[in-house]
Chains A and B, each alone.
Chain A
C-alpha cells in the first residue's frame, strides 16, 4: 500500500457488480402491482393539435389509464431552467405534455399506462390525434430570419443573447498586422449512456409519500421541482438513483417524463414504470453540440495574438431546457483557451428551431470552442509561415501570469480565472511523449497510398464550482466502521472508491473500514449533483473536511476515555495513538464499544459523527494537449486514427486507474463524435437517426489504443485537496486535434464536422486533384 490512499491505483469497488451484471439499475426495480407507461410522441416537427381522442385506447384490455395535458389540469408545469438563465429564455420552456402545438418530432403528447409495456404501446397506436401540420424551421440561419416562428406568440426565434466584452477588440483589430475570419460548425450529436433514462415512481397513498427510482445527476433539485409540481412536502419525496449506467450530461436532467411518471403514480395510486427505449433516447433526450461560430482573429506578424471576435449561434431546438443558454455560452466562456488574448468580444445567440432541445454533453461548448480556436491557430500559422507549435508556445499564459484573470466570459457574477498551471511544460511533455518532432517526415502522401497528418490542440477546461456546494455526513459505528453519506449523485464514475480513499487519508483509518453511500435524497437534505467534472472537487473536499471534523470528535472522545489531553492523540490506521509515549494504541472499534456500553444520562450520547459542506464558487481549470496521427484514404475518404495522446494536468490524482479510465473513455467518445456520430434531420423535420443502425457509436475497432499522460504539476490553490476534475479533459481537444490532423494530411482547411468519408471526399474533390 502506498503511504496515502490518495494517488494509489486502487481498483474500483463498484467494478465487481458492474462487470458481473449484478448491479441494480432502474429497470431492475420491480414492485408489486406495478404498471407500465409509454409515451405518445409527436410525429411532426411542427403542428397544431386540433383534437386528441383517447377513447379507443382506454377501451383496450389491459390499459389502465390514458392521459393528456387536460388531465394534468392546474398542476401543469414547465421544465425549469436551472442555470445560464439568460433573459428571455424563460419564454421558451417545455410543458410536460404538448399544449396546443407540437414543436419537434418526439415531443410528448399523451401517456398510456397499462399492465405491460407491450399493451401500453398498443394503446399509443389507438390514440387519435388530429394535427394541423405547420411549417417547420430547421436551420439556425433561416430561424434568425423569423419567417417561420417556433413559438409564434413570442414573435422571434432569437430567444436570448449574451455579450462578452473584454478589452477593446475593435481597436486591436484596427491596429493588427494580420486578421482572418472563418465560419466553423460543429454538428448535432448526443450522449448515449448504456442505460437509457428510466423512472419508477411509487406514490403510497396511505403514507402520502412518493418514492422515485432512477433519479440521477441532480436528485435533490429534481425532487424540489417534482415536489412543488405535485404539491407534496419535499421530505415526503424520496429520490433514489440505484446504480447508473452512465450519463454524460444527458441523463438525470429534468425532462417532461420526470413530471409525467410521478403524476401517473399519484393519479393511480400504483407504482408506474417507464423505461426510455433507444429510439426515444435519440428522439427526446437532450441533443447537444451544434454550435456555429463566425470567428475572427487578430495578431501581429510575429504571431502575437491580439484579439478575437466571435458571433456564436446555438441551435437550441424547440424548447429551452434545464441548461438554459449553457451550450452556446460555454462555447464563449473558454474560447480564448490557455492563451494570452487581451481583447475578446463575443455575441452569443440562442436560436430556436424545430428540433429536440439542446443540453449538455461532456465538455459542452468547450469541445466546440477548442475546435474553432485550434483550427484557426493552424490556419494562422500557415498564413504567417510560423510553426504551429511555436505559435502556441509564444502565446501560452505563463506560470508567472497565473492566477490569470480572463474576465467575465460567462453570464455569472464571477470572472473566469485560470487558477494554476505550467502550460508550456505540459506542451513540452506532450510533444516528447508523442515523438512529435520525429513524426514530421510522415506527413502527406505515403507509401500506403494514404495521406498522413498530425494535429495538435491545447485546451483548458473548467472543473468543479458552478453550483456552490456539496456535503458529506460521516458516522462511526460498530467495530470502528465508518459510513460516509454523500449529498452528490453519481453516474457510474466510482465515488464509492475515490471518496473512501479521500476519507481514509483524512480520518486516519484503513480504507476497508469505510463504506460510501450515495444516491438517496434521504441521506442529505441538500445537494447538487454530478456534472462539470465537479465530483472530486466538490464532494471530495466535502469528505476531506468532514473527516477532519470527525477526527477531532473521535480524539476528544478518546481523550475523555483515556483521561489524557486530546492534543496528544492522533488516529492512524484506525488506532488512536499517543505519539512519543509508551501508551498502547486504542483501536477505534474499542472506543466505540466502550462508548456504546458506558454512556449514562449524565455523560451524553454515543455520537461520533460529523457533517460538513465544501462551499466554493471558485472554478478550477485543468489543461492539456491532444495529439492525433491520422491517415486518410484519398479515394474513399476513409479516415483512420492511428495514434492518439491525451495529456492533462488534473492538479492532484486521487486514483490513477480511474483518471485513466475517464481519459480513455472521454477520448473514445470524442473521436466517435467527431468521426461517426451525427443526429441528422431530413425532410419535414424528421429525425433520420433513431436507431444505432444509423446513429453510429464508436466501437473497439474504430479507435486506436489511447495513450495518456496525467500530470500533477499544478494543484489547485482553491481547495484543500488541490484537486481538479478529470472527467472531460479526454474529450475537450478531440475535435481540434482531429480537425487539425485531417487538414494537415490533406492540405485543406476543415471547418465543419463530422469527418465522415463522404465529407472528406467532398473536400478532396474541392481541392481539385482528386
Chain B
C-alpha cells in the first residue's frame, strides 16, 4: 500500500497551479484534502504521474456572502470550517446539516468542500446537496473561468464535467429562501460511513400547500439523483400522510440503483422512498423555525 512513483508540485498561487495542469495535461492530478485520493494512490488504484498539491495555494478557502444573499465558498475550505461556521445554519440550514454527516471529524478536518465535489463519490453528501441547492461551480484554467451548474457537473459514475487542466475554485450557493422547509437523512452501515441511501430535500410552501420542491437522493446511482416526478407530485399538495405515502412510492419506483456488498438494489429503492417520506415529514414538523428565514 505505497503509491507508485509520481512527480510532486506544490504551487503557491492559483496561476502557477493551473499552468502546471496545462503543462501536464491528462497526466496531472490535483490534490486537495486527500481523504479519498491518497488511499486510492496507496492502493495503486490511482497512478497519476504528476500531483499538483493545492494546499499551499492561498485565497482558495473561506466562506463569504455573495451579492445576491447566497454564499461563495472557496473550494479549499475544509469541511470542518464549514461545520464550525456559526452563521451557516442561518444562511443555509440544509448545507449546515449535511456537513456533519461527512465521514468523521478527523476526515472533515482535512477534507475539503471542493475535493468532495470533484471526487464525486455517488454516496457522498455534498454533491447531492449542491445539486439540491442549485449551486454553481467555478472552474478555473489557464484560459480563464467557466461556471457549470452542479446538476450539469455530474455526468455518471465518478465522472464530472471538469477538464484535466481545470481546478474547481469556488462554489456559489444561491440565497436561501425564507420559509423553506428542508431535511437531509441517510442510512449507513455505521455512523460516518458512506450512505447506502440518502436524501436531501427542500420544499417551499404557499400556505398549507407545496409551491416548489427539490428531492435529491444519493447512494442510489452513479451521481446525485433528482426525482422530478416526486417533486411534481408535491407541487400544489399539502404535506399530509397520503401525499407523503405516494411520494414514497414514486421515489421507490423511479430509482434505478445498483446492488453492492452493503445493500441490494431493492433495498436502496425501498429505503430511498422511506427516507424521502420521513425527511418530508421531519421537514414539515420542524416547520420554518430556525430555517434562516
Contacts and interface: CB of A to CB of B under 8 A. Distances in A.
B84 interface: no
A277 B263 contact: no
B4 interface: yes
A770 to B, nearest CB: 9
Contacts of A130: none
Contacts of B261: 678, 680, 682, 688-689, 694
A765 B3 CA distance: 45
A691 interface: yes
B86 interface: no
Contacts of A701: 190-192
B270 A676 contact: no
B267 A277 contact: no
B259 to A, nearest CB: 9
B187 A761 contact: no
Contacts of A758: 196, 262-264, 267
Summarize A's interface: helix, strand, loop or mixed: loop
Interface residues of B, number: 25
B236 interface: no
Interface string A682-714: 100000110101101011011000000000000
B145 interface: no
B175 interface: no
Contact of A638 (B3, B43, B44, B187): B187
B1 interface: yes
Majority secondary structure, B binding face = loop
A688 B191 CA distance: 21
A449 to B, nearest CB: 10
B25 interface: no
A636 interface: yes
Contact of B196 (A680, A688, A689, A757): A757
A125 B4 contact: yes
A122 B187 CA distance: 39
Contacts, number: 69
Given A279-B43, A680-B261, A689-B261, A756 B189 contact: yes
A117 interface: yes
A63 to B, nearest CB: 13
A757 B267 contact: yes
Contacts of B187: 636, 638, 757
B193 A696 contact: yes
Contacts of B5: 118, 122
B62 interface: no
A121 B41 CA distance: 13
B119 to A, nearest CB: 13
Interface string A725-759: 00000000000000000000000000000001110
A278 interface: yes
A79 B190 CA distance: 37
B271 interface: yes
Interface in B33-69: 39, 43-44
A635 interface: yes
Nearest to B39: A691
B12 to A, nearest CB: 27
A691 B189 contact: no
Nearest to B273: A635
A637 interface: yes
Nearest to A276: B1
Point out which of B190, B193, B263, B270 has the most chain A C-beta atoms below 10 A from its C-beta: B190
Interface in B221-258: none
A469 B43 CA distance: 44
B274 interface: yes
Contact of A757 (B43, B263, B275): B263
A85 to B, nearest CB: 35
Nearest to A689: B261
A756 B264 CA distance: 11
Contacts of B270: 635, 761
A688 B261 CA distance: 8
Given A118-B2, A121-B44, A761-B267, 8 more contacts: A278-B1, A635-B274, A638-B187, A676-B190, A688-B261, A691-B39, A696-B190, A699-B190
6 contacts: A117-B2, A118-B2, A636-B187, A691-B43, A693-B39, A757-B196
Interface of B: 1-5, 39, 43-44, 187, 189-194, 196, 261-264, 267, 270-271, 274-275
Q: Sorted from nearest, which 7 A-B pairs have the closest CB atoms? A: A277-B1, A701-B191, A118-B2, A635-B274, A758-B267, A758-B263, A680-B261
